[in-house]
Amino acid sequence: MQCSTRQRRARWLALAWAGCGLTGCVLGPNFQRPASIQAPAYTAAPLVNLEGQSGAQRLDATLSVPAQWWSLLQSPRLDATIRQALAVNRNLTAARATLEQSAELLRVNEAALYPNVALAASAGRVKYGAAFLGPEHFPPFTFYSVGPTVSYAFDYLGSAHRALEQQRSLHESQQHELDAAALSLSGQVAMQALAAAYARSQIETVDAVVADDGTNLKLVQDAFAAGGATRVDVLNAQSQLANDQTLLPPLRRELDLAEHALALLVGQAPAQWQAPDFRLAEFTLPERLPLTLPSELAHRRPDILAAEAQLHAATAAIGVATANLYPQLTVSANASFQATALRDLFDTSGGGAGITGALTAPLFNHGSLRAQQRAAVDAMKASLADYQQVVLGALGQVADALEDLNHDQELLTSEQSALTTSSDSLALTRESYSAGNTGVLQVLEAERQNQQARLGLVRAQVQRLEDSVQLLLSLGGRVPQPSEPLASDARSR
């Protein structure tokens, strides 16, 4: 007998739904990785002081940033401090816990792809009213039931797969955020270590200046005793000594603050942990600096990779919202032993079973499902803009670090020249003062210029180290976690 047109359509629709379920059809756009950056360089102007062969530092495109980036500074104590911070820092511990939470949520989404099996048991007592049964009469009775139930939602539109894809992307984003937090933490430890070394170097410089002030005061006092200087000259020399001594308390405060910050970064209270006495001499300035191409930066920096994963999750959310516009098909089945007496519960004659299919289709929801779909599209556009802004920010950070390093050599050369000139001027001025050809004010002014030159040279040295750290951080890379072998450990094995 020939099938009717309606029956044939129903059969083809059922076959299409079954085919979608078997082949894993999914709605919504498939994620495509954003195009790589096509910028030829980070800066518009050439970096003449970094691209030549004569400077103290130069760029090397063939050199990659090591995962243990701080090894380029060659400071064993910095290495030990960063290791400790990566192991016990509280913010990093919280980020790891968040990553584990994301992994568990991923397993929750994976479970939606499989049937849900449960064991149901029930017991009760029933009494039917006479008006309900009519002429029939059943006395009150107690019933017992126990058996498995199975339910399964057919993902013929790919809603569960898109939800799993979304959660997997969020989990990936959490992993990259953990990497970004570890990278940032290592950078903070390095910067605070340099800050402590800088403060300690300034203190030593000011101590030397104060010692020179004492020598100058003795010179003026001797001249005053011999009648070659006035009381005003002595007071000026004493004032210079007192003014320079006032520089020490703020510098000691800066040193204390840097050491306290280091204690917090390694997960300790300042009173419970003593920071290493970092010195500028223990940090080696990297002669060759790695430089990743702009097109490769998006594949290295964890913050960019995290923004990309967020964009992937937002794209998958469109598929989830789109699938909600269409009918949802679920099937449930159960089997149980039923009896009115507990002793007869597992008698084979009391076995029962059932199967139910349900198709739920949205009819009227005042446009809420369409609005959710449009909201998902808008969220994806916002994530794309956020990703692009993160990439631009990364390019800007690398460009700033390169420009700073490009001018650091000029600054250091100027500061060294200023120190040499001021030291020679101070020595000649003191000789002239001893010979009676120069007043004490000229000596004090020469000392002030020499003091500024000394501090300026220290500042320029530290600035170049800090800018080198900023470049290494801005180029990105994944810092190994405590459970993973570090680069130096792998080499030692």
Residues 216 and 296 in one domain: yes
Q: Would you say residue 408 lies in a domain?
A: yes
Last residue of a domain, one of 336, 361, 386: 361
Strand partners, 125: 142
Q: Would you say residue 6 lies in a domain?
A: no
Residue 277, φ and ψ in degrees, nearest 5: -85, 80
Last residue of a domain, one of 342, 361, 380: 361
Q: How far apart are CA 240 and CA 233, in angstroms?
A: 11
Residues 212 and 352 in one domain: no
How many domains, in total, are found in the chain? 2
In 3-state terms the chain splits into helix, strand, coil percentages (rounded to 5) of 65, 10, 25
Write the pLDDT tens digit of every residue in 229-278: 788 888 888 988 899 899 999 999 999 999 999 999 999 999 999 999 99
Query: Which tokens is 162 given?
Result: 């898109």
Q: Would you say residue 438 lies in a domain?
A: yes
Q: How far apart are CA 130 and CA 211, in angstroms?
A: 112
Residues 392 and 478 in one domain: yes
Q: Would you say residue 15 lies in a domain?
A: no
Give the DSSP letter of residue 285: P
> Minimal CA–CA distance to 286: which of 201, 198, 190?
190
Residues 204 and 277 in one domain: yes
Q: Would you say residue 377 lies in a domain?
A: yes
Query: Which tokens is 10 given?
Result: 């129903």
Residues 340 and 199 in one domain: no
Query: Which tokens is 363 given?
Result: 């009819």
- pLDDT of res. 484: 59
Residues 350 and 411 in one domain: no
Q: How far apart are CA 260 and CA 252, in angstroms?
A: 12
Q: Would you say residue 20 lies in a domain?
A: no
Last residue of a domain, one of 337, 361, 385: 361
Residues 265 and 379 in one domain: yes
Give yes or no for a contact between 441 and 236, defined as CB atoms under 8 angstroms apart. Answer: yes
Residues 356 and 220 in one domain: no
Q: Give me the tens of pLDDT residue by residue for the chain, a chain 493 residues long.
A: 444 555 544 443 444 444 444 445 678 899 898 887 778 888 888 888 887 666 678 888 888 888 899 999 999 999 999 999 999 999 999 999 999 999 999 999 898 889 999 998 988 988 877 776 667 777 888 888 888 999 988 888 888 899 999 999 999 999 999 999 999 999 999 999 999 999 999 999 899 888 888 887 887 888 788 877 788 888 888 988 899 899 999 999 999 999 999 999 999 999 999 999 999 999 999 988 888 888 888 888 999 999 999 999 999 999 999 988 999 889 898 888 888 777 777 777 778 888 888 888 888 889 898 999 999 999 999 999 999 999 999 999 999 999 999 898 888 889 899 999 988 988 898 788 777 777 777 877 888 888 888 888 989 999 999 999 999 999 987 788 766 554 444 343 3
Structural domain including 227 reads: 27-113+155-326+368-492
Residues 345 and 424 in one domain: no
Residue 89, φ and ψ in degrees, nearest 5: -60, 135
Spell out the residues 6+ positions from residue 168 whose beta carbon is closer than 8 angstroms to its own. 106, 109
Q: How far apart are CA 19 and CA 21, in angstroms?
A: 5
> Treating both helix axes as pointing N-terminal to C-terminal, what angle do 159-225 and 90-111 enclose, rounded to 10 degrees?
170
Write the pLDDT tens digit of every residue in 372-426: 999 999 999 999 999 999 999 999 999 999 999 989 888 888 989 999 998 898 8
Residues 259 and 334 in one domain: no
> Minimal CA–CA distance to 57: which of 66, 48, 65?
48
Amino acid letter at 465?
Answer: L
Q: How far apart are CA 398 and CA 86, in angstroms?
A: 24
Please report, for the domain that includes residue 338, its CATH number.
2.20.200.10
Q: Would you say residue 22 lies in a domain?
A: no
Residues 471 and 383 in one domain: yes
> Minimal CA–CA distance to 447: which of 428, 468, 470?
428
Query: Which tokens is 80 given?
Result: 């030990």
If you average pLDDT over every residue of the chain, what do you get?
85
Spell out the residues 6+ positions from residue 116 whose beta carbon is closer than 8 angstroms to its own. 150, 151, 152
List C-alpha distances in Å: 429 to 180, 355, 437, 441, 446.
55, 105, 9, 10, 7
Please report, for the domain that includes residue 37, its CATH number.
1.20.1600.10
Give kind and range of the element (H or E) at residue 126: strand 116-126
Q: Pairing state of beta strands 58-60 and 116-126?
A: unpaired
Residues 106 and 73 in one domain: yes
Query: Both ends of the chain: CA-CA distance in Å?
Result: 79
Q: Would you say residue 17 lies in a domain?
A: no
Task: Supply the DSSP string of 123-170, one letter for each residue.
Answer: EEEE---HHHHTT-----EEEEEEEEEEEEEE-TT-HHHHHHHHHHHH
